[in-house]
Amino acid sequence: MVKIFAGFILIYFIIIGNPLIGQEIHFIDKIPVSQKECIIEMDSGIAILPGDFFIICDGRAGDLKIFDRNGKYIKKFGRRGEGPDEFATPRLYDYSDSNILINDWRKNKIFVYTIINDLELKLKEEFLGTCFDSKILSDGYLISGSKADKKENWYRLYIEYPRNREYSFLLTTEEMFNIQAEGMFISNSNQLEEQANIGHRAYCDYLGDHVYAAWEGLLSIIQLNTNTRKITRYKEKSPLYKKPVISNELVLAKKERNQNKYTQELNKYSMIRKLFVSNKYIGIVYMNYDSKSDMLNPIVQIYSLDGKFLVEKKLENITYPNNLLSMYYDKTNNILYALSLMINEQSESQYTLVRYGIR
Single out the residue in 101, 129, 157 at which a domain terminates.
129
On whether both 124 and 136 belong to a single domain, the answer is no
On whether both 258 and 115 belong to a single domain, the answer is no
Exposure class string for 76-109: b at 16+ Cβ within 10 A, else e: bbbebeeeeeebebbbbbbbeeebbbbbbeebeb
Q: What is the pLDDT of residue 117?
A: 86
Assess contact for 86 and 80: CB atoms under 8 A.
Answer: yes
* Domain count along the chain: 2
Domain with residue 78: its CATH number is 2.120.10.30
Q: Quick count: other Cβ atoms within 10 Å of Cβ 339?
A: 21
On whether both 310 and 164 belong to a single domain, the answer is yes
Please indicate whether residue 194 or residue 101 has the higher confidence score (pLDDT). Answer: 101
CA distance 211 to 205: 6
Q: What is the pLDDT of residue 189?
A: 66
Pairing of the two strands 99-104 and 281-290: unpaired
On whether both 121 and 71 belong to a single domain, the answer is yes
- Strand, helix or coil for residue 177: helix
CA distance 135 to 113: 13
Assess contact for 73 and 107: CB atoms under 8 A.
Answer: no
On whether both 41 and 169 belong to a single domain, the answer is no
Single out the residue in 129, 159, 194 at which a domain terminates.
129
Query: What residues make up the domain containing 122?
Result: 34-129
Of all helices (H) and strands (E), which one includes residue 63? Answer: strand 63-67
Q: What is the pLDDT of residues 144-193, one digit of tens each?
A: 999 999 999 999 999 999 999 999 999 999 999 987 643 434 445 677 88
On whether both 344 and 256 belong to a single domain, the answer is yes
On whether both 168 and 301 belong to a single domain, the answer is yes
Its pTM stands at 0.89
Q: What is the pLDDT of residues 271-312, one digit of tens each?
A: 999 999 999 999 999 999 999 889 999 999 999 999 999 999
On whether both 123 and 183 belong to a single domain, the answer is no
On whether both 151 and 255 belong to a single domain, the answer is yes
Number of residues in the chain: 359
**Phi, psi torsion values for 313, nearest 5 degrees:** -150, 135
On whether both 213 and 353 belong to a single domain, the answer is yes
User: If pLDDT is split at 50, 70 and 90, which confidence band does 80 have?
Assistant: very high
User: If pLDDT is split at 50, 70 and 90, which confidence band does 132 have?
Assistant: very high
Q: What is the pLDDT of residue 23?
A: 65
